[in-house]
Structure 1
């Protein structure tokens, strides 16, 4: 008899599964049930949620619940970035909410103050909405991602959701999908018919931040090894330094991570790379202080930004940005770099140009995502 498989570390706190009554026999629910049954978590209880129930209640200390939900909202959304700063303007494919990992700086703590990991089980509705949007005009290009309200790959071991999405998008050559994560799961790879239409992506940080502020995640080395596997298979990867945190030893820390990148990848294998300074809504700071009392970076020098979020003082941001950009340029990076939610003044001062010089940040990243091919962008 085959021994039950261990779940990945970030999924081992799942102690309950909820499923909407209408989704109890859905393909996704059957898959999750089968995969859990073959794991060390085979005895996790399942609860069918009656129709009309607005939310489920779950409170078992540090444990988490998985909720397979019949979602009634829009699956394709705009990035919630403010107009006060330059936003990358990618489109969000909304597949679920919340995250099983625990990063002290994560904004999801302010959005979802429970331990319920929601995943939308009505995939037929999802694919219908996406087909209508992407198929209306095949010359209109879309750069989309799933890593906004959840981690793209965190639940992949149980749900296979990204693999399903990659398979679906094989028929839509006008769409590039970015899968952004802090864990390693490459089970979606062989579903991709074209390596130029999927952008595997990982968030990176300084080793100290990875070790002391990110919990139940893959190490930096594990992420970069996965990125190299993808690059060797023909995929271009994306990397994200967001949030960049100001802490004692930050220069040495970020220099080490930047140098590590090019032990595994070449600049030509990187489609784009974002840099974003730590910023947060006012209500997030006390949540971080309560959940992660070791997180002293929240007591740095912050000022209110034009979007109402607290931002590190501009001279400190500029110092960090300039250091990292110079280090990255020393490794051959240039137009792959962009700032997340910064002003034209910051762009000009650090990079020597603004998004306007690139034809607009959204257009620039669309071109980077698709390569040399051209097409119309969605209005």
Structure 2
């Protein structure tokens, strides 16, 4: 689906950013959307025809922030550039369902303030490397044809050799490549899942073949890509399904094309199933198993089942020649040892290890 066709029928633009380039691009990309100019304190409009509202506004907080991790599980050290909030796609497992209660999409247009903050941080010590991304509270690229946010960001980052930017998406948008970024400083990234999960639980996302074709295009252009299996879901036939998508990856990519790959088990805030039920959506099978509440307050698949799935994934990937750059998202040292036989500390720290994988192929 094109980013200009996300059923956006209303465009709300705050007065503070009405004259920005982003607001102008949104008007051009969405000529049929009903525009509302918002003064401070004005409520958001209701989208006509049951569509969505795109809210172009100024962000008043910090733009650069650490991943919302917990000390009980190992975090990859990724830092977030906060470009907006919410996602136009409809994945049943998405944590954003618990964060945002409506369908409003938000893009932050005060990029001058963002670049000033980032320049102060990235320029303070140009020998300090940063691995950052924009795909935490929003898909990195879903709104790119409308906002041009990533192209602006890539233009700014051209002056910062110490920054590696990951663009994580379930779309196949490659319009950001028009900014001509350095292939050694940009990591195009895709979330993947079992074919049955994508077909039944990831509404309005690009097909797996389409995502992987986009990844192959990036690899051919000199970019190394990242892939993320998060969440890995437990359901009848999961071994067959995850083996199929792993095999598919290597129909499109070689192991050397992949900078790193994450594995994360399904976990959710306890209120997520209730949110789905309230939306009239049937709970998927992978949410109906036995879970324990983890140290982060999220429901997690029982550890023996997680380890079983992880071992299966690791072995099947190794069969295709991929092992360097493979890591867990938000797991304990006990799980690392049970699957890999070591902990992130023995890799020199997970953040440093992944940065090395991104910048030193085959090192």
Q: Is residue 257 of structure 2 the alignment partner of residue 263 of structure 1? A: no
Q: How does 1:17-96 map to 2 (within 5 A)?
A: 17-36=11-30, 42-53=31-42, 56-58=44-46, 62-96=50-84
Contact in 2 for aligned 1:145/1:178 (Cα 8 Å): yes
Q: Is residue 262 of structure 2 the alignment partner of residue 274 of structure 1? A: yes
Q: Is residue 113 of structure 2 the alignment partner of residue 125 of structure 1? A: yes
Contact in 2 for aligned 1:192/1:198 (Cα 8 Å): no
Distance change >3 Å, CA 9–CA 199, structure 1 → 2: closer
> Pick from 339, 342, 350: which aligns with 1:361?
350
Q: Deviations over 1:88-128 (max 9, x none)?
A: 11110000000000000000011110111000011111111
Q: Is residue 194 of structure 2 the alignment partner of residue 212 of structure 1? A: no
Distance change >3 Å, CA 215–CA 194, structure 1 → 2: same
Q: Is residue 329 of structure 2 the alignment partner of residue 340 of structure 1? A: yes
The CA RMSD over aligned residues, in Å, is 1.6
Distance change >3 Å, CA 310–CA 294, structure 1 → 2: closer
Displacement after TM superposition at 1:294 (Å): 4.4
Tell me, in whole angstroms, the C-alpha distance in 2 between the residues paired with 1:150 and 1:16: 19
Q: How does 1:92-131 map to 2 (within 5 A)?
A: 92-131=80-119
Q: SS where residue 235 of structure 1 aligns? A: coil
Distance change >3 Å, CA 81–CA 61, structure 1 → 2: farther
Q: Deviations over 1:248-278 (max 9, x none)?
A: 1111100000000000111111000000000
Contact in 1 for aligned 2:324/2:357 (Cα 8 Å): no
> Pick from 332, 341, 347: which aligns with 1:352?
341
Displacement after TM superposition at 1:34 (Å): 1.5
Displacement after TM superposition at 1:61 (Å): 7.3
Tell me, in whole angstroms, the C-alpha distance in 2 between the residues paired with 1:360 and 1:225: 32
Contact in 2 for aligned 1:11/1:155 (Cα 8 Å): no
Tell me, in whole angstroms, the C-alpha distance in 2 between the residues paired with 1:11 and 1:258: 30
The aligned residue for residue 315 of structure 2 is 326
Q: SS where residue 262 of structure 1 aligns? A: helix
Q: SS where residue 271 of structure 1 aligns? A: strand
Count of aligned residue pairs for this structure pair: 361
Tell me, in whole angstroms, the C-alpha distance in 1 between the residues paired with 2:4 and 2:316: 32
Q: SS where residue 175 of structure 2 aligns? A: coil
- Structure 1: any 5+ residue segments left out of the alignment? 1-6, 37-41, 375-379
Tell me, in whole angstroms, the C-alpha distance in 1 between the residues paired with 2:73 and 2:6: 39
Tell me, in whole angstroms, the C-alpha distance in 1 between the residues paired with 2:261 and 2:214: 16
The aligned residue for residue 223 of structure 1 is 211
Tell me, in whole angstroms, the C-alpha distance in 2 between the residues paired with 1:74 and 1:298: 34
Q: SS where residue 114 of structure 1 aligns? A: coil
Displacement after TM superposition at 1:369 (Å): 2.2
Displacement after TM superposition at 1:313 (Å): 0.7
Tell me, in whole angstroms, the C-alpha distance in 2 between the residues paired with 1:193 and 1:145: 15
Contact in 2 for aligned 1:201/1:237 (Cα 8 Å): yes
The aligned residue for residue 6 of structure 2 is 12
Tell me, in whole angstroms, the C-alpha distance in 2 between the residues paired with 1:13 and 1:71: 24
The aligned residue for residue 124 of structure 2 is 136
Displacement after TM superposition at 1:195 (Å): 0.5
Contact in 1 for aligned 2:67/2:79 (Cα 8 Å): yes
